[in-house]
Structure formats: C-alpha cells, structure tokens
Amino acid sequence: MPQRLKLPVVLCLVSLLAGCALLAETPEPEPVLGPAAFAARIDRLESQLAARCDSQEHKLDAYARQQDQLGAEVREVGSVLRRLSRDMASRDISGENPLVIEQRCEEEDSLLAGKVLVGRSEWVGLPDVGTYLKARVDSGANTSSLSATEITPFERDGEDWVRFKLGVNEEDVVVEDVVDEWIEEPVVRRVRIIQAAGEESRPVISLIMTLGSIREPVEFTLKDRSHLSYPVLLGRRFLLDISVIDVAQTYIHERPEFPGGLPSEESEVDEVDAPDDEEEEA
C-alpha cells in the first residue's frame, strides 16, 4: 500500500474503535414505572399481605380450638380420677394410713365445694325475658347459645344493640306470652364461627339465667336453633368453676315459675330427654 494511503486508514480505524468504546460505556436508562404499573404492583402486594394475614388468622383459630379441646380433655381426666378415688375409698382400706384417706377426702371435697351438680339436660330460667326453656348441657361448646329469630342489629347511644325474638317451635316448652315479644339487648362482643359451609359472625349478649340455685349473667350467642331439640345450649364458659355435670342424669333441678307459665310440679310430663343434636363449637 502506498505510504500516503496508510495514514487515512489508520485514522479511520482509531475513530471506529473510539466510537465503539464510547457506545459500550454509555449506561442504558432505567425503566420508568408508570402510575398504572405502580398501582398494579401495590395491589398485588396488598393482596399477598392480606392472604398471609388470613392464613395466620386461620392458624390462630385452629390453635385456640385445640387449646379448648385439650382443656376439656384435662377436666374429663380429672373427673375420671375423682371417680376412681371414690371407688378406692369405698373398698377395703384397712391397710391404708387413715391420715392419707382423710387428706384425700378433704381434697375431693375442696374440688367440689360450692359447685352445683347438673344433668345433661336441665330447665333454665331467663328472668329478663320472663320464661323457662329447656337447655342442653355441652362441655364441648365454648360459649352458650340462645335460639333467636329476626335478629336485627341497630345502634343506641353510640353503642351496638340487637333486637330479636325467641326462636322456638311448636314442641318447645315456653311461656306463651313472650313468644312474639321483641327483646332488645346490647351486644357484648361478636364471635366468628367456622363451619364446613364457611364462616359466620354472631352477636353475643348477656342475660341473667337461673338453674337451680345458680343465678348468674351468662353470655349467649344468638342463632336460630328452632330446628334443634333444645332452644338453649350451655357451654363450658358457664359451667367453669360453678357446676359439675352428671351425664347419667337429666332435669335434676325444678323448672322455674314465671307469670303466665305452668307450675313447676307439672314439668315432669315435659321432661322427655331428646336425642343429642350435632352442634358446631360456638
């Protein structure tokens, strides 16, 4: 190649190499996230967070139910142990230390002191409503339940209230004058019930209830139980520390009396023990 042509060729090559170097070093611009894309990403993050919260809440509910079940099983084991102790005490104990026997009896008496014996079915009274009702005693349920229909929430003085009627059927024994009367009570709290068909939120109210010598405020969830055998279900929140269940007996205590109702001595004809209904834990 002639000498005069070499210099332009070299200069062209140098220019091309410098241009390629500049192109390689120039960074690409960051992609810009538009408002629509940003909003979509935020929605996805909120959905993921809500799903995680729901999952955690379901796990907590499951743990709470397991804890309640374990508590019921512990109390049942305690009841079995007390029966075994009474059986042992009734046998030949001539070789046992009298002091040990006396101590054991005192411990059993202290466990039962002040507690009322109730059967698997009992009459209860609702003085605030003015009627007696049949109740099924169920230590497997957490909260007690009262049969109610036409449940209507409303607000009074800034507080949540509920209006309802007793949910009874033709076979239920009740003071007739109160069947179609409206009952209004403040809502103490709400409970969430998990069933196979889904979740349900129910209001909880507090009513004075009598059972034998017991007269206590009891929390009831409101639910239409008119298709069941008992309009009232008594759960372990009511039973705890104040009563002991003897499932072999029914209607240990007399039916309370209310104006417009039947005398207590006529209750025997109504004390037919209905079969247990299947209930979800309330």
Q: Could you read off the pLDDT of 49-91 as tens digits, one per residue?
A: 877 877 777 777 777 777 777 766 777 776 677 777 766 666 5
Cα distances (Å, whole numbers) of residue 48 to 45, 54, 227: 5, 10, 41
Domain that holds residue 143: 116-265
Domain presence at residue 202: yes
- Which of 161-170's residues contact partners 24+ apart within 8 Å by CB, and which partners? 161/185, 161/186, 161/187, 162/186, 162/187, 162/203, 162/205, 162/222, 164/222, 166/129, 166/131, 166/231, 167/223, 167/224, 167/225, 167/226, 167/231, 168/133, 168/226, 168/231, 169/226, 169/227
Domain presence at residue 147: yes
Q: What's the CA gap between 242 and 112, in Å, rounded?
A: 9
Tally the domains of the chain: 1
What's residue 151's pLDDT?
Answer: 96
Domain presence at residue 47: no
What's residue 277's pLDDT?
Answer: 56
Domain presence at residue 184: yes
Q: Which residues of the chain have pLDDT under 70?
A: 1-33, 71-72, 78-79, 86-113, 275-282
What's residue 96's pLDDT?
Answer: 52
Containing 207, the helix (H) or strand (E) segment is strand 198-211
Report pTM: 0.59
Domain presence at residue 274: no
What's residue 274's pLDDT?
Answer: 74
Question: Domain with 171 in it: what CATH number?
Answer: 2.40.70.10
What's residue 160's pLDDT?
Answer: 95
What's residue 279's pLDDT?
Answer: 47
What's residue 249's pLDDT?
Answer: 92
Domain presence at residue 137: yes
